[in-house]
Amino acid sequence: MFKTYTPSGDSIERNWWVVDADGKTLGRLATEIASVLRGKHKPTYTPNLDTGDFVVVVNAEKVLVTGDRLDSKIYYRHSKYQGGLKEISLRKQLLKFPTRPIEDAVKGMLPKTALGRNQLKKLKVYAGPAHPHEAQKPQALEIKGE
C-alpha cells in the first residue's frame, strides 16, 4: 500500500532566486513571484505548509504597467480617524516608494493567513540593481511570457 508523502519542516529545502524587474509587467511578475514563494514550482508542494523559496527582486523602480495605470491605479490607506483616507497614484508611489507596488501586488496573491504572512517575509525587493544577498548564491529566475 502506498502512503502519501507529506514534507516536514525539517526536510524542506529552500533556494534563493533573483528576479530582474527591468522591463517586466507588474502583474505577470507578481504571479510568478507568488508562485515561487508558495512553493508551487516544487513537486513537494503542500498547500498547508510553507514549502516556498526566497525571492530577491532587483530594479523594482523599472517595472512596467500597461495602459494608463500609472495615473488611474490608486492605492488607498486609512488612518482609522474621521477623514483619514489617504490615496496615492501608482506614478507617485513608484517615485516615493519604488518597492511597494511589487510588494502589494505579491501580497494580494498570497493567502490572507499566518501562512501567507510568513511566505511574504521571504520576499526581498530592492529599487536598484544591487542587493545584499550574494552570500546565499541566488539563481536567476526567468519569468515566462515576456
pLDDT of residue 143: 83
Confirm whether 2 is domain-assigned: no
Confirm whether 5 is domain-assigned: no
Confirm whether 8 is domain-assigned: no
Residue 85 near residue 76, CB atoms below 8 Å: yes
pLDDT of residue 146: 59
Mean pLDDT split into 10-residue runs, the chain, 146 residues: 83 94 95 96 91 96 95 96 97 96 97 97 97 94 76
Tell me the pLDDT tens digit for each residue of 116-140. 999 999 999 999 999 999 999 999 9
State how far the Cα of 125 lies from the Cα of 21, in Å rounded to an integer: 10
| pTM (two decimals) | 0.92
The residues pairing with 125 across neighbouring beta strands, listed in sequence order, are 57
Q: Residue 109's domain is classified under what CATH number?
A: 3.90.1180.10
Which residues constitute the domain of residue 37? 16-140
Confirm whether 122 is domain-assigned: yes
Query: Number of folded domains in the chain?
Result: 1
